[in-house]
Amino acid sequence: VEKSLEEQFEEKIANEIRIEPKDWMPEQYRKTLVRQISQHAHSEIVGMLPEGNWITRAPSLKRKAILLSKVQDEAGHGLYLYSAAETLGTSRDQMINDLHSGKAKYSSIFNYPTLSWADIGAIGWLVDGAAIMNQVPLCRTSYGPYARAMVRVCKEESFHQRQGFEIMMSLCNGAPAQKQMAQEAFNRWWWPTLMMFGPKDEESPNTEQSMRWKIKRFTNDELRQRFVDMMVPQAEFLGLTVPDKDLKWNEAKNGYDFGDVDWEEFWNVVKGNGPCNKDRINARVKAHEEGAWVREAALAHAQKRAQREAA
Ligand code: ACO
């Protein structure tokens, strides 16, 4: 007997065979991927803003060159991800419109301000560290174009994380005032970074189905736990104090117990009321409007070329 399309799809998922753009897939699988990949793309693009804020004020030419190229990498990640989402039948214009109208989500973390140079270190170390923890498993996600995009993204993210850690090292080995800057940045970014992994599993409406479809390979809480376990020894190495009075090694589970995230703050930021949400969207809308002439010129050029080739 011939297998139904749905059975063939389920068989591929069970056998770890990637789903490709032209394969049949359940509508809900497609929708979930468009949602996750487009949110991920928007996060990369909006994520350029807090760090871009420090390019002109980086403390040395070397730091400036490194930061500039890191921020460019984020733009590249956004573009691979928009392309991956486009293979699912959504258009880039649609995705960008949804971001600008406030309909589409992007990571909560990028709605916090970067108050000092140490924040650039903390972002590289913590935020990119969390991004890697979340994205390395996505190299094995069931949708082919998304999985393949993640391979290069993760390589670049690990360089980003090293540069963040190295900034923190320099500050922590510097004058007492520099060490204090590092601690203050750590205090500011620790809890928002833990929020990046998303709501607790029991409050995450999408996890169960996404795990079944192997879009997600680990739950939000599993990744958050792994992240804490990875970061605590690094903080100790830097001589920094984790801003959590409930943090405690738990021998039985071979990991740390840690305090509860402020979920009210998290949902407030997700709903658009974080410290920088409005600034971020305004900056993106302005950039898009100011770039209109580039899109028009590129289109005119492409049309001229097509005409010349046709002649
Ligand atoms: N910021 C904003 N929104 C969030 C966040 C967050 N940190 N975490 C969860 N949400 C949203 C979800 O998008 C979902 O919203 P929606 O259903 O309206 O689309 C809702 O909260 C409920 O969460 P979940 O059911 O847990 O959603 P999901 O299964 O998609 O898990 C997660 C969320 C873990 C972020 C997942 O989408 C993912 O792994 N995405 C890819 C990685 C990514 O986007 N990283 C961006 C930051 S890293 C970087 O860009 C450097």
Q: Whose CA is nearest to atom 37 of ligand 1?
A: 36
Ligand 1 contact, 200 CB (< 6 A): no
Q: Whole-angstrom Cα distance, residue 30 to residue 24?
A: 10
Q: Whose CA is nearest to atom 9 of ligand 1?
A: 198
Find, among 142, 45, 53, the residue nearest to 92 by Cα.
Answer: 45
- DSSP-derived letter for residue 3 is P
Low-confidence ranges of the chain (pLDDT < 70): none
Please give the structure tokens belonging to residue 150: 């993640």
Distance 206 CA to ligand 1 centre (A): 9
Tokens 């214009």, residue located: 93
Model pLDDT for residues 45-76, shown as the tens digit of each residue: 999 999 999 999 999 999 999 999 999 999 99
Q: Whose CA is nearest to atom 7 of ligand 1?
A: 196
Whether the predicted model's global pTM rises above the 0.90 cut:
yes
Q: Which atom of ligand 1 is nearest to the CA of 134?
A: 39
Model pLDDT for residues 152-207, shown as the tens digit of each residue: 999 999 999 999 999 999 999 999 999 999 999 999 999 999 999 999 999 999 99
